[in-house]
Amino acid sequence: MNGTKSFLEEEINLSKFQLFSNLSPEELIHLNIEGTYLVYTRNETVYLEGSRLKGFYLVLRGILNVYKTGRNGEEQNLRFAKCGEIIGYHSIICQEPENCSVRAIEESVLCHIPYSTVMRLLQYNRQFSGRILQIACEELNETNKRLTSIAQKKAKENLAEILLVLKQKFDPDDANVLQIPLSREELASTTGNGKETVIRILSEFRRDKLIEIKKGRIKLLDIPKIKVIASL
């Protein structure tokens, strides 16, 4: 992990993020002074479960894997965070050690916002605290949906669903190519299956011309059929 403010100065205009769009000029100045910018390379860990964070992070660029470590130290993906999303805020709000770990999936740039700054904003800026509350509730809705799918769906249905979820989140050009470089193992940790199971199903999807894999990126060829398989 390394990074200096000047290096990134240009690309950073925190007020363009919805979360900070309602800050007063003064609050923005403070935010810019107090926030620090960090670069993480692929597979680099941002923090581990159990850490006591000194603030939260805003994702400026890249994609991160938010996961828990479960049985036998096996990773379970909880969500992927991308530009504009925040991570590590539970820890701050609940005043508890973090309950999940975060690792960069591709080179990522984060902005660390220290505890005191967050607290000041939460206290004095209603729009900000309201937005955080909304973010938490949205995340909760997502997680509830995932939990239900993982608990009830078969591996194939579940994987098909995940592909659609990833498309929605990581296909900005709408070219049906998932712009997220996931290993088979990471994909498996997302669906809650073994690596081999995921590989077999992907092979099957490929054979049936539902998807295509080029340079590690998955392209969805037949979304209607994938939706049927996902039972959506």
Taken in order 131, 78, 37, 47, is the CA torsion positive or negative?
positive
Question: Please, what's the b/e burial string for 11-45 (b: 16 or more CB within 10 A of its CB; e: otherwise)?
Answer: eeebbebebbeebeeebeebbeebbebbbbeeeee
Residue 190 Cβ, how far from DNA at the closest point, in Å? 12
Angle at 137 between CA 122 and CA 229, to 5 degrees: 150
Neighbours of 48 (CB within 10 A): 13
Residue numbers at the binding site for a second copy (CB under 8 A) = 68, 70-71, 74, 76, 78, 89-90, 93-94, 96, 99-100, 122-123, 126, 129-130, 132-134, 136-141, 143-153, 157, 192, 231
Q: Which two tokens stand for residue 40?
A: 């993480």
Q: Indicate which of DNA, a second copy, none lies near residue 200 (CB less than 5 to 8 Å, by partner kind).
A: DNA
Residue 8 Cβ, how far from DNA at the closest point, in Å? 24
Q: Indicate which of a second copy, DNA, none lies near residue 156 (CB less than 5 to 8 Å, by partner kind).
A: DNA
Please answer whether residues 195 and 160 qualify as being in contact, where contact means their C-beta atoms are separated by less than 8 angstroms. Answer: no
Nearer CB in complex with a second copy: 22/76: 76
Residue 42 Cβ, how far from DNA at the closest point, in Å? 9
What is the C-alpha end-to-end distance of the chain, expressed in Å?
41
Nearest to 139 by CA among 91, 93, 87, 75: 87
Q: Indicate which of a second copy, DNA, none lies near residue 180 (CB less than 5 to 8 Å, by partner kind).
A: none
Cα Dmax for the chain: 58
Nearer CB in complex with DNA: 77/117: 77
Residue 199 Cβ, how far from DNA at the closest point, in Å? 4
Residue numbers at the binding site for DNA (CB under 7 A) = 154-156, 183-185, 192-197, 199-200, 202-203, 213, 215-216
Q: Indicate which of DNA, a second copy, none lies near residue 202 (CB less than 5 to 8 Å, by partner kind).
A: DNA
Residue 51 Cβ, how far from a second copy at the closest point, in Å? 14
Measured distance CA(77)–CA(192) in Å, rounded: 8
Nearer CB in complex with DNA: 16/214: 214
